A and B are shown apart, each in its own frame.
Chain A
């Protein structure tokens, strides 16, 4: 698999000029994002997510370590031509939406009829074509975020780096952005998505990494991370609930959970009691539960993985 974004043992320290105090935002951080995936980058406030993104974009230099984006070291202008970026709290020039998107496209060496057509396409994709002649300075935060997304998409990027892309959006717009991301993945694009909206991440991301106090404390496929509780939920019919620990009878079925290694025995017991198994599924945690568990554990162990 091709690696599109790679952090290699990267550390970033901020130094206060006045107090000479050092703050370590990223601590020997390593990560590989593969081509064609949607990678969810999670972490509490101040975990170092935006720092990691800004390092990849070349907005700052690492204190130590290195990184590569699309096969080239971080900070190359020529590489950014193939990248789309949306910053958290997006700030854009106050001019009409369509010329603004064209301006950002032109900075990526686009031009002519292709750029005009592409600008209209992306404005339509983010649901802002009706507002193409409106001044961005008068837009709401949600509208501004959509224009920000349009400028990130205008160059048809191979890699899309989005820092909180849906934080100011209403539920309808969130669904639209989600569909946009899924469509981009279908087209072979890679998406690096930093977000606090865990339900969104859970729905679209193939892999998830959790950053805490500058360290990567959890990394894996979304489905693996959510199914790692080691429990199976069994739903059965035609049995009494008191034969199984923690079983609940509701709407004519009995539901209970057992450790995975006891699953076979539990199913055989249901059948031996004359019951019928309706379903047996691994217990899935929500991403929120996993996130709280991971960051809580990291707090108690000082950020160890």
Chain B
């Protein structure tokens, strides 16, 4: 477990500047929100909150999709995997790192959301439940991206991830069992829970998609580990 934590913390450290910029963006928007007339502009505040929440899912795809590529390109992966670290542990560290990075973002968003939306009458507990949904969605999205990045470059890995995560949405739109399709790969269902929240209907605390996301994260991690075990990591990626 120690190497996994070390790799995860190292990943977060390596991504500290993009994370910091994102946090500053969230704090800036929260500050502007607090400066406004919260009661009268609460719908606008909620819209901005949901928009900023959606970004983190996209960022987790980019984080996950580029992690292995940049490590291989810089050849830093060699020094790490020359230690008593298995490839499964390495991937676990990256999954945990992506999850921690998105959790930091979601925590900050949750805090600022509690101040601004809480002031406007949005249930505070529901803000944190939505953040939990978001973290689960990020974890799953980041892991799917990581799986594709074991054999694709970041651009194709991100595209393939978008296709896989968006598949339930497309299927749901064109199928009678729309709701059920959303749970096949529940990143879409979890993101939709956040995006459909409103002051009138803040959403219910439905835990099934979160649990499914956890299980599927393990599943995609297993597939990623299986593929990554056969990758020649010392071969140049360009």
Of the stretches A74-82, A193-201, A209-217, the one at the interface is A74-82
User: Using Cβ atoms and an 8 Å threshold, which residues of chain B touch A93?
Assistant: 10, 14, 76
User: Using Cβ atoms and an 8 Å threshold, which residues of chain A touch B2?
Assistant: 106, 109, 111
In the bound assembly, the distance between CA atoms of A78 and B84 in angstroms comes to 5
A-B contact pairs, 9 of them (CB 8 A): A60-B233, A77-B86, A78-B84, A83-B82, A87-B75, A87-B79, A92-B76, A104-B83, A107-B83
C-beta contact mask, A72-98 vs B, less than 8 Å → 1, else 0? Answer: 000001101101010101111101000
Considering the complex, give the chain A residue whose CB is closest to the CB of B71.
A91
User: Using Cβ atoms and an 8 Å threshold, which residues of chain B touch A103?
Assistant: 6, 10
Asked whether B232 is an interface residue with its Cβ less than 8 Å from the other chain, the reply is yes
In the bound assembly, the distance between CA atoms of A111 and B1 in angstroms comes to 14
* Given known A-B contacts A80-B82, A87-B78, A106 and B6 have beta carbons under 8 A apart: yes
In the bound assembly, the distance between CA atoms of A50 and B78 in angstroms comes to 12
User: Using Cβ atoms and an 8 Å threshold, which residues of chain B touch A14?
Assistant: 232, 235
Asked whether A258 is an interface residue with its Cβ less than 8 Å from the other chain, the reply is no
Nearest first, the 10 A-B pairs at minimum CB distance are A81-B84, A107-B83, A85-B82, A60-B232, A59-B234, A91-B75, A77-B86, A54-B234, A87-B78, A91-B76
C-beta contact mask, A275-291 vs B, less than 8 Å → 1, else 0? Answer: 00000000000000000
Is the CB–CB distance between B233 and A107 below 8 Å?
no
Choose among A77, A90, A148 the residue that contacts B85 (Cβ–Cβ < 8 A). A77
User: Using Cβ atoms and an 8 Å threshold, which residues of chain A touch B81?
Assistant: 57-59
Asked whether A61 is an interface residue with its Cβ less than 8 Å from the other chain, the reply is yes
Is the CB–CB distance between A59 and B75 below 8 Å?
no
Number of interface residues of A (CB under 8 A): 32
In the bound assembly, the distance between CA atoms of A152 and B79 in angstroms comes to 9
In the bound assembly, the distance between CA atoms of A108 and B2 in angstroms comes to 9
Q: Chain B at the A interface: mostly helix, strand, loop or mixed?
A: helix
In the bound assembly, the distance between CA atoms of A111 and B85 in angstroms comes to 15
* Given known A-B contacts A60-B232, A103-B10, A90 and B79 have beta carbons under 8 A apart: yes
Is the CB–CB distance between B82 and A57 below 8 Å?
yes
User: Using Cβ atoms and an 8 Å threshold, which residues of chain A touch B3?
Assistant: 106-107, 109
**Residues of chain B in range 1-38 having any CB-CB distance to chain A below 8 Å:** 2-3, 6-7, 10, 13-14
Asked whether B55 is an interface residue with its Cβ less than 8 Å from the other chain, the reply is no
Q: Nearest chain A CB to B83's CB is how many angstroms away?
A: 4
Q: Nearest chain B CB to A71's CB is how many angstroms away?
A: 16
Is the CB–CB distance between B84 and A61 below 8 Å?
no
C-beta contact mask, B140-172 vs A, less than 8 Å → 1, else 0? Answer: 000000000000000000000000000000000
In the bound assembly, the distance between CA atoms of A54 and B89 in angstroms comes to 19
In the bound assembly, the distance between CA atoms of A59 and B230 in angstroms comes to 9
Residue in A78, A80, A83 whose Cβ sees the most chain B Cβ within 10 Å:
A80
In the bound assembly, the distance between CA atoms of A129 and B83 in angstroms comes to 23
Asked whether A11 is an interface residue with its Cβ less than 8 Å from the other chain, the reply is no
Q: Nearest chain B CB to A78's CB is how many angstroms away?
A: 6
Is the CB–CB distance between B80 and A107 below 8 Å?
yes
Asked whether B74 is an interface residue with its Cβ less than 8 Å from the other chain, the reply is yes
* Given known A-B contacts A54-B234, A92-B76, A107 and B14 have beta carbons under 8 A apart: no
Q: Nearest chain A CB to B152's CB is how many angstroms away?
A: 12
Residue in A57, A87, A107 whose Cβ sees the most chain B Cβ within 10 Å:
A107
Choose among A61, A77, A151 the residue that contacts B79 (Cβ–Cβ < 8 A). A151
Is the CB–CB distance between A60 and B6 below 8 Å?
no
In the bound assembly, the distance between CA atoms of A151 and B84 in angstroms comes to 13
Choose among A59, A87, A148 the residue that contacts B232 (Cβ–Cβ < 8 A). A59
User: Using Cβ atoms and an 8 Å threshold, which residues of chain A touch B75?
Assistant: 87, 89, 91
* Given known A-B contacts A54-B234, A60-B235, A109-B2, A91 and B78 have beta carbons under 8 A apart: yes
Given pairs A107-B7, A108-B84, A151-B79, 8 additional interface contacts (CB within 8 A)? A61-B230, A80-B83, A87-B75, A91-B79, A93-B76, A104-B80, A107-B3, A107-B83
In the bound assembly, the distance between CA atoms of A81 and B82 in angstroms comes to 8
Residue in A59, A61, A92 whose Cβ sees the most chain B Cβ within 10 Å:
A59
Considering the complex, give the chain A residue whose CB is closest to the CB of B81.
A59
Considering the complex, give the chain B residue whose CB is closest to the CB of A79.
B84
In the bound assembly, the distance between CA atoms of A99 and B230 in angstroms comes to 32
User: Using Cβ atoms and an 8 Å threshold, which residues of chain A touch B235?
Assistant: 14, 60
Residue in B7, B76, B89 whose Cβ sees the most chain A Cβ within 10 Å:
B76
User: Using Cβ atoms and an 8 Å threshold, which residues of chain B touch A54?
Assistant: 232, 234
In the bound assembly, the distance between CA atoms of A273 and B2 in angstroms comes to 79
Q: Nearest chain B CB to A35's CB is how many angstroms away?
A: 20
